[in-house]
Chain A
């Protein structure tokens, strides 16, 4: 029996974006032109590319300046990130010299939600192409130190909540209770929480931020769950296991953090 059977599933999940990726030590011998050369390898599937600043690492450098005049010199390659957009318009590969990420998005109601079971193979396919490319260019295979998976959910106003005093109707972890009752109901609520995954396997990061969508100004609560798991070894089976573990924590964590009333709205399926 597959472990999938034991995971909660929804007919209309509020997920608008998912991402899965590997973080690794900076690639040795990686040169900027390789981004373009790799694009040639995948261009039939990923016809568009863009160059962006890299996502800073967790331990990105910190600089404090005390002098009035400072000159900073950057030696070697200037760090960049490339985006390779899939012809479907819903998928994207991001590569920088210490990360490899696949993003999927739901553009609007016409796009069906794509499950992890479909996204993982497409991610691993491009990853394996990337590994072959590195090998053929004599770049040492990356040492993966973190497997990351994330789900971004937009819970729009009018779908289970109308103002922030009703947040408890969406998030079971939010009671809104105070000790003396002095405070009025809040106008805004943002939450950031980190849960450890046992056996030092990683952590689940949950952020809940209020805001509004750029395209239609609809007010929304953006609930993002990101699991970062350390693989036991860098072999492909353990990498996949770390992604699976992260995904399991996200899905079960999402179910645990949100209310049964919302589960009904999202069409939670009965477990087989």
Chain B
């Protein structure tokens, strides 16, 4: 029997295309290049903003909004489908840390309170010296591709 093909099964996208709006298209969570873990990661980062000063009992400062915003913006612009969800943590200086370990590659990104991104890239098992750098968003995206093994 011949396969049945419904041309109008993508009702949702059809609805979107029906709109007369043209200028203000936003990238949706369900877009094909967006990872399914993104809302959960965003929520985890956002929750850290509620930590008070001294949250680690060592006098660390509260997580700052600039770090939260930059970490979330970074993930929204990143090729998130290439990598699994990061481990999200506060850093002692009030920043946000994202950590991945994929196929023997280890990457830590810290979004600091001064608006910079600090990266620490290494191979698990010490195959080479860890590389520590202050980087831009685009370089951090490249590091995610490295983590995924495609560069």
- Spell out A's residues near B (CB within 8 Å): 16-17, 19, 21, 55-56, 58, 60, 62-68, 83, 92, 94, 99, 101, 103, 105, 148, 150, 152, 154, 157-158, 162-164, 187-188, 209-214, 216-220, 222, 224, 226
Contacts and interface: CB of A to CB of B under 8 A. Distances in A.
A69 to B, nearest CB: 9
Given A94-B22, A213-B27, 14 more contacts: A67-B2, A92-B23, A101-B20, A103-B22, A148-B20, A152-B23, A162-B49, A187-B39, A211-B27, A212-B26, A219-B42, A222-B26, A226-B19, A226-B20
A63 B2 contact: no
Interface string B1-21: 011111110000010011111
A224 B2 contact: no
- Name the prevailing secondary structure of the B interface residues: mixed
B55 interface: no
Contacts of A67: 2
Contacts of B26: 154, 209, 211-214, 220, 222
A212 B25 CA distance: 9
A187 B43 contact: yes
A103 B73 CA distance: 28
Interface string B51-77: 000000000000001000100111011
A222 B24 contact: yes
A17 B21 contact: yes
B29 A211 contact: yes
B29 A55 contact: no
B40 interface: yes
Nearest to B40: A187
A112 to B, nearest CB: 16
B46 interface: yes
Given A56-B17, A162-B49, A211-B28, A64 B5 contact: yes
Contacts of B8: 62-64
- Name the prevailing secondary structure of the A interface residues: strand
A184 to B, nearest CB: 9
A71 to B, nearest CB: 14
A66 B3 CA distance: 7
Contacts of A62: 7-8
B2 A66 contact: yes
Contacts of A154: 24, 26
B7 A65 contact: yes
| Residue among A83, A101, A154, A211 facing the most chain B CB atoms (10 A cut-off) | A211
Q: State the 6 A-B residue pairs at the shortest beta-carbon distance, nearest first.
A: A211-B26, A105-B23, A187-B39, A217-B76, A217-B77, A212-B76
Given A94-B22, A163-B43, A65 B5 contact: yes
Nearest to A63: B7
B18 A55 contact: yes
Contacts of B5: 64-65
A124 B51 CA distance: 54
